[in-house]
Amino acid sequence: MFLGIDIGTSGVKTAVINDTGDVIDQAAAPLTVSRPHPLWSEQDPADWWAATQKAVLDLSPDRRAKIRGIGLSGQMHGATLLGASGDVLRPAILWNDGRSFAECAALEAAEPRLRQIAGNIAMPGFTAPKLLWVKQHEPEVFAKVTRVLLPKDYVRLLMTGEAASDMSDSAGTLWLDVGKRAWSPELLAATGLTESQMPRLFEGCEITGMLKPDVARAWGMEPVPVVAGGGDNAAGAVGVGVIRPGEAFLSLGTSGVLFLAGEKFLPNPDQAVHAFCHALPDRWHQMTVMLSAASCVDWAARLTGVHDAGELIALAETRGRLAGPEVFLPYLSGERTPHNNPHARGILFGLDHDSDAAAIGQAVLEGVAFAFADGLDALAAGGGEVREITVIGGGARSAWWGRVLAGALGRPLVYRRDGAVGPAYGAAKLALIGVTGTPAEDACAPPPVLFTIDPQAEDAERLAARRIAFREAYTRISPLYTMEPQ
């Protein structure tokens, strides 16, 4: 059996698969995010390790004893800063942190070829601008930095003692030459860093080290190999078999991602499209990212006093109507594609006396769907052709939200077995590939289709009209976002 560990934003998830790729056990442990100032988003790396321990130990002891390899996935871009003795110097700055917008401009000015080398526009979510912010605002911390690790790779360090990373996660730092799949001395120099402060690079299915004996004993398993793994989106793609050119998935997690696999490095930074390495050798991908997706439904549930997101979606489904007067802009944490605006914020308007929890819930589902449609347009502008879309993540459980998404995107949505398991599933498959030598095409065959949701013409027509109001609202309100928070 093979174990996948996903260091997410809201929690750590584990998944165990057998040698034919079937998910046979899962567990999870929650995490919280600290937001001490406007635009800030941080976590204590010690919490990742504590949650990892719990999520592993909550798996069946019998299955843990049969693990033969481990793969890691995790939230991308997080800056984990270590000192000379391996001590954590400050809380990790996360992917949805927007404080480093000024440093993005400074970084592009310092290295005019940044977009050409990294394949991406400098955004506050990426790792490099975060380090420039630390250099500017916390120079005493920056001076002590001997290693910068991404979240999953800090957990790897505690598991194996090795400072290592994979291509897909490292591509989100703005320090990788994405076409060459190697650290870029020029991009590192623009941030005041060197390659000696970076982890060693591996392909996602390559073994990076062995589980330390003391950790293995505590987890009730042998000191098994640990493979490089992947960033959460690339690992999620491996899990559901999105590895061939033209295959796509939509992820409904804390953030929202539209992911398109390819065999070439095809950057399109002007549309704020991300061009990264895939978690398998000689493969790349493009993706669009919205910073708040399923988390918007959690927010709306709290706002309306509904028990949880599932209940709110059920209320919207019972109501059974698309395109009411309410319109929601889902920019609760700022936005990446296509606006690249860390100052953007969520808006709920068009309310009247009949705007109950069900109506607000429906508006939130539609607002997230419209933001995904903006991402699909950005992919198309860069030459990406998306025919059908596999749905993964927690939101994949809702057929009603699927109907809304299909109507807004105008594409069939495919729901597959184990699609809701997420990146931990792909991390386990990468371990299977790395340990057994199974070809990726075999190990990453798409799971069986459970059902497909085709766009309905009437839904598409109604939602297209509402999307005009959605986009017009952002255009008119966005000038208010330019003011810096006090």
Active site residues: 232
Give the burial class of 486: count Cβ atoms within 10 A of its Cβ; 0-12 exposed, 13-18 middle, 19 or more buried. exposed
Rounded to whole angstroms, the Cα distance separating 120 from 483 reads 25
Rounded to whole angstroms, the Cα distance separating 279 from 231 reads 8
Rounded to whole angstroms, the Cα distance separating 151 from 143 reads 21
| CA terminus-to-terminus distance, the chain | 52
Q: Which residues contact 109 (CB under 8 A, 6 or more apart)?
A: none
Question: Which residue matches tokens 């944490």?
Answer: 333
Answer yes or no: are the C-beta atoms of 202 and 165 closer than 8 Å.
yes
Q: Which residues contact 298 (CB under 8 A, 6 or more apart)?
A: 308, 309
Answer yes or no: are the C-beta atoms of 112 and 186 closer than 8 Å.
no
Which residues is 202 bridged to in the sheet? 166
Answer yes or no: are the C-beta atoms of 17 and 432 closer than 8 Å.
yes
Rounded to whole angstroms, the Cα distance separating 45 from 63 reads 27
Answer yes or no: are the C-beta atoms of 387 and 246 closer than 8 Å.
yes
Rounded to whole angstroms, the Cα distance separating 458 from 463 reads 9
